[in-house]
Amino acid sequence: MNFKRDIATRTYSGFAIAALLILTILNILLQIGPPDIQRAGDQLLAMSADDGVANAVTSVVVYFRGFDTLGEIAVLFIAALGIGLMLSAHNRTTHEESNYILKKASRMLFPMIMLFGVYVMIYGHLSPGGGFQGGVIVASGVLLLLISREEFEVPHSVISALETFAGISYVLIGLIGLLVVDKFLGNFLPNNISQMGMLFSGGVIPLIYIVVGIKVGSEMSMIVQNLIQRSDDD
Amino acid sequence: MTGIIILFSFLAVILVAFMSIIQKSLPDAIILFMGVGLGAVVLFFVFQAPDVALTEAVIGSGISTLIFLMALKHLKAEHEL
């Protein structure tokens, strides 16, 4: 049999196969009737009322989709790793003098940005936000320090220790959940619905979000530092 | 009141996006692109998605603007535009 056909035949056969696949998928889709639950959001809202977390989005992201969140953090870690590999070989050589106003303002703004980041992280189960947003806010505070002080550098050892700690604790919390309640990232801490809205509520979810915040914050700080150093270099 | 805010934000987002496209200088275009993100933050908040609004404010307006500006600075140093 001759496998080397001319281009026109291959194109037409490709179109034919694509059309066949689309028709098959359409056939399957048409055979499935309308589902009982019209919207997934209603179902998730009904489920999130059980676990005592005031913020339903956090409940979905951390509790029902906790494994996906672990994957997202792995993606961010790989991105930080790639940026570090490509850009971090260049050390900062030139010291541009920062603006005087920026220097003085950063002294006042930096604690507030850090405080807001930690607040968003810790109150992720009560108010909008959470680990990802809080971590990036902390990293933007680090960015302010980097552009306002020439001599400042993020200490590598602290960052790697924080990141390792956060990653290991996320998996450990998941494994403890697997051992105690037979579910990866299961809720093994007491979560009373009567305490919904308190700071200590929602069982294991605040812990996971704090860990996520530490990890995202350290990774984003490293990314920001690599970008700034590289562009100061040239 | 909410309708006025929504209408104003939509118009502002469209206007700022258009101005960002027609800018001649790249830093101005990047700063205007940040304005698109800020308008989107207001819209997300009005449409009751505060989590998305916070993410957009932090990542869409903050970090991505930084990345664009740093890339621009690097390009300028390399090619002397």
Please give, one letter per residue, the 3-state secondary structure of B6-55: HHHHHHHHHHHHHHHHHCCCHHHHHHHHHHHHHHHHHHHHHCCCHHHHHH
Spatial neighbors of A66 by CB under 8 A, at least 6 apart, are A174, A184, A185, A208
Smallest CA-to-CA distance from A44 within A59, A29, A54 is with: A59
Interface of B with A (CB under 8 A): 50-51, 53-55, 58-59, 62-63, 66-67, 70, 73-74, 77-78
Instruction: Find the angle CA(B20)-CA(B21)-CA(B23) to the nearest 5 degrees.
Output: 70
- Asked if B66 and A224 come within 8 Å (Cβ–Cβ), the reply is yes
Domain that holds residue B19: 2-79
- Asked if B74 and A139 come within 8 Å (Cβ–Cβ), the reply is no
Instruction: Give residue A13's pLDDT band: very low, low, confident or very high (50, 70, 90).
Output: confident
Instruction: Give residue B40's pLDDT band: very low, low, confident or very high (50, 70, 90).
Output: very high
Question: Which has more pLDDT, A219 or A153?
Answer: A219
| Number of domains present in the structure of chain B | 1
The confidence score (pLDDT) of residue A130 equals: 84
For residue A223, the distance in angstroms to the closest alpha carbon of chain B comes to 10
Helix (H) or strand (E) segment spanning residue A36: none
DSSP conformation class of A129 = -
For residue B41, the distance in angstroms to the closest alpha carbon of chain A comes to 13
Contact A121, A205 (CB under 8 A): no
Partners of residue B73 in chain A, C-beta under 8 Å: 231
**Cα distance between residue B30 and residue B46, in whole Å:** 25
For residue B47, the distance in angstroms to the closest alpha carbon of chain A comes to 14
A73 in contact with B, Cβ within 8 Å: no
Q: Quick check: ipTM above 0.85? A: no
**Cα distance between residue A118 and residue A102, in whole Å:** 23
- Asked if B77 and A234 come within 8 Å (Cβ–Cβ), the reply is yes
For residue A210, the distance in angstroms to the closest alpha carbon of chain B comes to 16
Residue labelled with tokens 């790793």: A81
pLDDT higher than 90, residue A195: no
Query: Any idea which of A56-70, B16-30, B31-45 has the lowest mean pLDDT?
Result: A56-70
Tokens of A173: 């919390």
| Dihedral angle of Cα A196, A197, A201, A207, to the nearest 10 degrees | 140
The confidence score (pLDDT) of residue A204 equals: 85
The confidence score (pLDDT) of residue A131 equals: 86
For residue B48, the distance in angstroms to the closest alpha carbon of chain A comes to 11
- Asked if B54 and A120 come within 8 Å (Cβ–Cβ), the reply is yes
Alpha carbon separation from A197 to A192, A203, B47 (Å, rounded): 10, 12, 23
Tokens of A169: 């604790």
Instruction: Give residue A26's pLDDT band: very low, low, confident or very high (50, 70, 90).
Output: confident
Alpha carbon A16 to its chain's center:
41
Q: What is the pLDDT of residues A82-137, one digit of tens each?
A: 888 887 655 555 566 778 898 899 999 999 999 999 999 999 888 888 889 999 99
pLDDT > 90: percent of chain B: 47
The confidence score (pLDDT) of residue A141 equals: 92
Partners of residue B58 in chain A, C-beta under 8 Å: 133, 136-137, 140
What rounded mean pLDDT belongs to chain A? 83
Q: Please tell me which of the candidates A132, A220, A227 has its beta carbon nearest to residue B70.
A: A227
